[in-house]
Amino acid sequence: MDRRKFLKLAGLSVTLAGGVPGFLNREVKARAYTPPPGALTARRWGMAIDVKKCWEEPNCNECIKACHHLHNVPDIPDKKREVKWIWKDEFEHVFPDKPNEFNNIIFTHKPFLLLCNHCEHPPCVRVCPTQATFKREDGIVMMDYHRCIGCRFCMAACPFGARSFNWVDPRPYIKDPNPKFPTRMKGVVEKCLFCYERLEKGKMPACVEACKKKALIFGDLEDEHSEIVQVLKSRFSIRRKSELGTGPSVFYLL
């Protein structure tokens, strides 16, 4: 065996011994995460919005204010460029798949709350080329703002218009920054994250806590005994565009 052959063989052996099994055994799943003691946990977080309770205070925007302040959501005056995590719109825009001229009259000027649906089969997660948006084991559709390349494929894929892109630097538009939550930079996509950072500390999402009428019910959709499951079992509810099969986790109690 000459020197050249020996080196070739040695190189191949090292690759097979170390490289290949290492590659095959590579951890593909995100490392298991243990929530800190006292954290609120669930198998699938969901929200039920009691629309009638919400209408009792038609001009109340406490949930939106609380969320947007806490999460440093910029207040951009240009509607076409705005960033929003939770907002209000009318029936015909929220449920365009259920057009009915009479419903449109019944629901005139009756606001419906909109936020990310944290879908069971999120199309945004499916299309993201970098896994910057991903679904956690508890059903929350998360964002990694440091990984997002800003391709906006997720915005094209989301049938709910739940995602906002930072067309410009958002920081000048944050009036009263909250130092406890990161701000975003230009060129990344953002949306509601079901207050994962509050759940970790044993607190309910900011919008749920801020609602004076207790119209927002947040809980585990896979826990038989949770309040949300009890309510959904006893009252009629609808979801946005459920025919698309994304499995929204936000329910509207009517």
Partner 1 sequence: MFEKALVGSRKYWLWLAFLALLIFIGFLAFLAQLQYGLGITGMNRDVSWGFYVAQFTFLVGVAASGVMVVLPYYLHNHKVFGPVTVFGEFLAIAAVIMCLLFIIVDIGQTHRLFNVLLHPTPHSMLFYDMIVLNGYLALNVICGWAALHGEYKGTKYPKWVVPFIYLSIPWAFSIHTVTAFLYAGLPGRHFWLTAIMAPRFLASAFCSGPALLLIALLIAQKVSRFRVEPKAIDTLSKIITYALLTNIFFFGCELFTAFYSNIPGHKASLIYLFKGLEGHQEWVIFMWTAWLLMLGAALMLVIPPLRKNINTLVLACVMLFIGAWIDKGIGLLMGGFTPTPFETITPYRPTVPELLISLGIWAAGFFIMTVLFKIAVSVKEARAA
Select 67 or 162, whichever has its Cβ closest to partner 1.
162
Q: Does 10 bind partner 1 (CB under 8 A)?
A: no
Select 38 or 129, whichever has its Cβ closest to partner 1.
129
Q: How far is CA 220 from CA 7, 18, 238, in A?
A: 59, 44, 18
Quickly tell me which residue has 């749920």 as its tokens: 208
Structure tokens at 206: 């900011």
DSSP 251: E
Tell me the closest approach of the beta carbon of residue 44 to partner 1, in angstroms: 20
Closest CA to 83 of 187, 3, 11, 228: 187
Quickly tell me which residue has 């080329």 as its tokens: 129
Quickly tell me which residue has 């999120």 as its tokens: 122
Tell me the closest approach of the beta carbon of residue 12 to partner 1, in angstroms: 24
Burial of 150 (0-12, 13-18, 19+ CB in 10 A): middle
Tell me the closest approach of the beta carbon of residue 231 to partner 1, in angstroms: 27
Judged by CB under 8 A, the chain residues 59 through 98 that form the site for partner 1 are 79-82, 89, 92-94, 96
Select 134 or 196, whichever has its Cβ closest to partner 1.
134
C-alpha dihedral sign at 147, 154, 170, 84: negative
With contacts defined by CB under 8 A, name the span among 31-39, 59-67, 163-171, 198-206 that binds partner 1. 163-171
Q: Does 166 bind partner 1 (CB under 8 A)?
A: yes
Tell me the closest approach of the beta carbon of residue 85 to partner 1, in angstroms: 13
Judged by CB under 8 A, the chain residues 92 through 111 that form the site for partner 1 are 92-94, 96, 99
Interface with partner 1 (CB under 8 A), residue from 143, 188, 206, 229 = 188
Q: How far is CA 254 from CA 31, 44, 105, 178, in A?
A: 40, 22, 15, 35
Structure tokens at 148: 């997002």
Q: Does 161 bind partner 1 (CB under 8 A)?
A: yes
Contact 170, 74 (CB under 8 A): yes
Contact 155, 189 (CB under 8 A): yes
- β-pairing, 86-89 vs 133-135, is unpaired
Q: Does 147 bind partner 1 (CB under 8 A)?
A: yes
Select 37 or 129, whichever has its Cβ closest to partner 1.
129
With contacts defined by CB under 8 A, name the span among 54-62, 148-156, 201-209, 223-231 that binds partner 1. 148-156
Show the binding pattern over residues 29-48: x = contacts partner 1 (CB under 8 A), - = does not. Answer: --------------------
Contact 184, 145 (CB under 8 A): yes
Q: Does 169 bind partner 1 (CB under 8 A)?
A: yes
Q: Does 244 bind partner 1 (CB under 8 A)?
A: yes
State the residues that interact with partner 1 by CB under 8 A. Answer: 79-82, 89, 92-94, 96, 99, 123, 126-132, 147-153, 155-161, 164-169, 185-189, 241, 244-246
